Amino acid sequence: MNKTTKLKQMLQSPQLEFLMEAHSGISAKIVEEAGFKGIWGSGLAISGSLGVRDNNEASWTQVLEVVEFMSDATTIPILIDGDTGYGNFNNMRRLVKKLEQRDIAGVCIEDKLFPKTNSFLREGAQPLADIDEFCGKIKAGKDIQKDDDFVIVARVEAFIAGWGLQEALNRAEAYCNAGADAILIHSKLSNASEVFDFIKVWGDRSPVAIVPTKYYTTPTDEFRKYQISLAIWANQVFRGSIQKMQEVAQQIYREQNLLSVEDSIVSIKEVFRLQDDKELALAEEHYLCPKSGNQRSAIILASTRGEQLGQLTQSIPKTMIKIGKKSILERAVEHLNEYHIKDISVVAGYRKEAINLPNLKIIGNDDYKTTGELVSLSKAIDTAQGESIILFGDILFKKYFLSIILDDPADIVIIVDTVYSLEQNYQSDFVHVFQAEEASLFPGDNYHLKTIFYDQPHADYYGEWIGMMKLTTKGVTIVKDFIQEFRNQPEFQMMDIRDMFNQFIKRGIKIKIQTISGHRIDVNNIEDFSLAGEF
C-alpha cells in the first residue's frame, strides 16, 4: 500500500491513531521500529536538530532534504509539518510537488504568516493568515497533487493567537470547503478544554488531529471519547535525545575517559544495525566479487630479515623497508585491497613487532631462522578462505599481476617473470615449463610448471618464479592436505614452496604458469632503490 493511502486511512479510520515525531533518518527509523504507524516531521525538531530556530531559518529545501532521508529510512507514512507552506499558493504548489516526489504522505500547513514563530512562543507574534488567502493555498496544493491520497491537513491557529472558538470554527469550515483532508486544532493550554470545545461543535465534519504537547496530562482515553482521529506526539523523541546528548557530553567532559559512559550508551554495533549494514554486506557479496562468489584472502610470508640488506634491516624485517613513502608490505596490502582482498595474514618472524600496519593478522614464526617457507605457510594456511593469494613479503609488483592471476581459473597458478639478467650473480627459483597440448593463439597461454629449482640464472630457464601464487578453494585444500601429510617428517622443517611444487608435479597436480616480463623487483637483489619508485 502507498504511504499516502496508509496515512489517509489512519485519518479516516474510526479509532484514534498516533504520529510520533522524528527529525532525521535515524530518528524516523527508531520511531518505526518502536511500532508507530506514522511519523510527524516536526518543524520544531527538524530546525532544532539543525541548530536553528523554528522561524523558517532553515530553508524549505533544507527541510526537504532532511525529510527525504527520513522517508528513505522508513516504510511508514510521514506527515510533514509544512509551516505556512513557505510562501503563497505558488510556493505551496512547488512544495507539494517535491514532497510527492520524495514519497512523503502528506503535509500540514498552518494559517499564520511567513516567517512563522513556534506556537508556544510570544503570544503577540502569532498573526493569522487571511482566510481566503489560506484557502487558495489549500486549493493550489490539492490541485497540484498527483496522488489522490496525498493528504493536506489544515492547522487552525485561532486558539494560539487568542481569537477563540468561533474564529476557530469559521476557519475550519472554510479550510474544509477548500479541500483540506483534515483539521489540526492547536492549543497551548495545559488542559484540553479548547480542543474539546471545538470538537463538541465541529463533530465529525472532518477528521481532527491534535498536538497534546501542553495538555500532556489529559488521559489518552479522553481523546478517544471525543473521537479525535490523530494525536501527534510532536517533539518527545527530539527532547529525549537532547537530554541524553547533554548527559553524555557533560559526563565525558568531567571524567576525561569513556569508562563509565560506555555502558549507558548504545553500542557501535547497534548503530551499524540501524544503518542496515547487513544489507550492504550481502549486496557487496553479490555485486563486488561475483566471480569468486564470496571470499578472498591472502597470506604474506615475511618472516626473514634479509641479511644482505645490512643496516636497512637492523631494526625491521625487509618487508617493512620503505621504498619512497611506503613500505613493501604496505604497497602489497594496498594492491590486495584493490582486489577486495581484506582478509590478509602476515607470517612474521624477525622483528615481528615492527609490522604494525592496521587490519592485518600477524602470525608468528619464531623459528624463522631454522625453518623453511613451508613451516611459515603451514602456520597461516588455516586462515586461507576461498580464493587465496600466497605472496612473499619482499617483492614489489605491479597491481595488474593480481588481475592476471585471479582471472585464471586454474586451481594453482604462479607468476613467472621471463625477464632476468644472465649476467647477474644471484640465486632464485628458476623454472622449466612444459606446454600443454591444446593449441593456443598466444604463446605461454597454457603453460604448466615442469620443474623449479633454486639456481643461478641460466639461458635454459624459462623464467623466475616471483613468489606469488593463487589458490582456488580446491587449491587451498590441496596445499593443506600436502602440509598435513608432510608436517611430521623431519625434512619438512627446511622445505620451501618450490619443494612442494615439485612434489605436486610428481603427483600429477598441475601448476599453471602466468607469464610477465619485468615490472617487479625482488628486494633481495635490489641495487638501486630509486628504481622501485614506480611500484
Interface with ligand SPV (CB under 6 A): 42-44, 81, 118-119, 211, 213, 234-235
We find the least distance from the C-beta atom of residue 108 to Mg ion, in angstroms, to be: 8
Distance CA 492, CA 499 (A): 10
Q: How does DSSP classify residue 86?
A: S
b vs e for 334-364, b when ≥16 Cβ sit within 10 Å of the residue's Cβ? Answer: ebbeebebebbbbbbbbbbeebeeeebeebe
Q: Which partner, ligand SPV, Mg ion, none, binds residue 365 by CB below 5 to 8 Å per kind?
A: none
Helices and strands: H and E segment counts in the chain? 17, 21
Distance CA 227, CA 207 (A): 9
**Catalytic: which of 54, 343, 499, 522?**
54
We find the least distance from the C-beta atom of residue 236 to ligand SPV, in angstroms, to be: 10
Is 43 or 467 the residue whose CB approaches ligand SPV more closely? 43
Distance CA 458, CA 420 (A): 9
Q: Which partner, ligand SPV, Mg ion, none, binds residue 211 by CB below 5 to 8 Å per kind?
A: ligand SPV
Out of 25, 38, 41, 43, the only residue in the binding site for Mg ion (CB under 5 A) is: 43
Q: Which partner, ligand SPV, Mg ion, none, binds residue 58 by CB below 5 to 8 Å per kind?
A: none
Is 235 or 303 the residue whose CB approaches ligand SPV more closely? 235
28 touches 39 (CB < 8 A): yes
We find the least distance from the C-beta atom of residue 82 to Mg ion, in angstroms, to be: 9
Query: In terms of Cα–Cα distance, which of 450, 429, 310 is closest to 372?
Result: 429
Is 53 or 448 the residue whose CB approaches ligand SPV more closely? 53
Is 83 or 464 the residue whose CB approaches Mg ion more closely? 83
User: Which residues, numbered 262-301, are part of the site for Mg ion (CB under 5 A)?
Assistant: none
190 touches 218 (CB < 8 A): no
We find the least distance from the C-beta atom of residue 85 to Mg ion, in angstroms, to be: 12
We find the least distance from the C-beta atom of residue 259 to ligand SPV, in angstroms, to be: 37
Distance CA 373, CA 463 (A): 20
We find the least distance from the C-beta atom of residue 268 to ligand SPV, in angstroms, to be: 31
Q: Which stretch binds Mg ion (CB under 5 A): 42-50, 235-243, 378-386, 418-426?
A: 42-50
Find all residues with CB under 8 Å of 114, minimum gap 6, and list them.
Answer: 56, 83, 84, 85, 86, 87
Is 59 or 427 the residue whose CB approaches Mg ion more closely? 59
Is 235 or 472 the residue whose CB approaches ligand SPV more closely? 235
CA atoms lying within 13 Å on the CB side of residue 49 = 24
Distance CA 395, CA 501 (A): 20
Tell me the pairing of strands 463-471 and 387-392: antiparallel
User: Which residues, numbered 143-172, are part of the site for Mg ion (CB under 5 A)?
Assistant: none
Is 17 or 81 the residue whose CB approaches Mg ion more closely? 81
Longest alpha-carbon distance in the chain? 106
Strand partners, 391: 300, 468
We find the least distance from the C-beta atom of residue 81 to ligand SPV, in angstroms, to be: 5
- Return the residue nearest Mg ion (CB atom): 43
Q: Which stretch binds Mg ion (CB under 5 A): 39-47, 122-130, 280-288, 400-408?
A: 39-47
**Which triple of cell numbers denotes residue 22?**
522524528
Is 25 or 43 the residue whose CB approaches Mg ion more closely? 43
Q: Which partner, ligand SPV, Mg ion, none, binds residue 119 by CB below 5 to 8 Å per kind?
A: ligand SPV
By CB under 5 A, tell whether 41 contacts Mg ion.
no
Size of the site for Mg ion (CB under 5 A): 2
CA distances to 169, 186, 365, 425 from 127, in Å: 17, 15, 80, 94
- In 306-456, alpha helices (H): 328-338, 373-380, 400-407
User: Which residues, numbered 66-125, are part of the site for Mg ion (CB under 5 A)?
Assistant: 81
We find the least distance from the C-beta atom of residue 215 to ligand SPV, in angstroms, to be: 11
We find the least distance from the C-beta atom of residue 296 to ligand SPV, in angstroms, to be: 50
Q: Which partner, ligand SPV, Mg ion, none, binds residue 213 by CB below 5 to 8 Å per kind?
A: ligand SPV
b vs e for 101-116, b when ≥16 Cβ sit within 10 Å of the residue's Cβ? Answer: ebbbbbbbbbbbeeeb
Residue 246, SS3 per DSSP: helix
CA atoms lying within 13 Å on the CB side of residue 72 = 10
Tell me the pairing of strands 182-185 and 151-156: parallel
Distance CA 94, CA 205 (A): 29
Is 43 or 317 the residue whose CB approaches Mg ion more closely? 43
Indicate if 54 belongs to the active site. yes
Binding positions for Mg ion, rule: CB under 5 A: 43, 81
The catalytic residues are 54
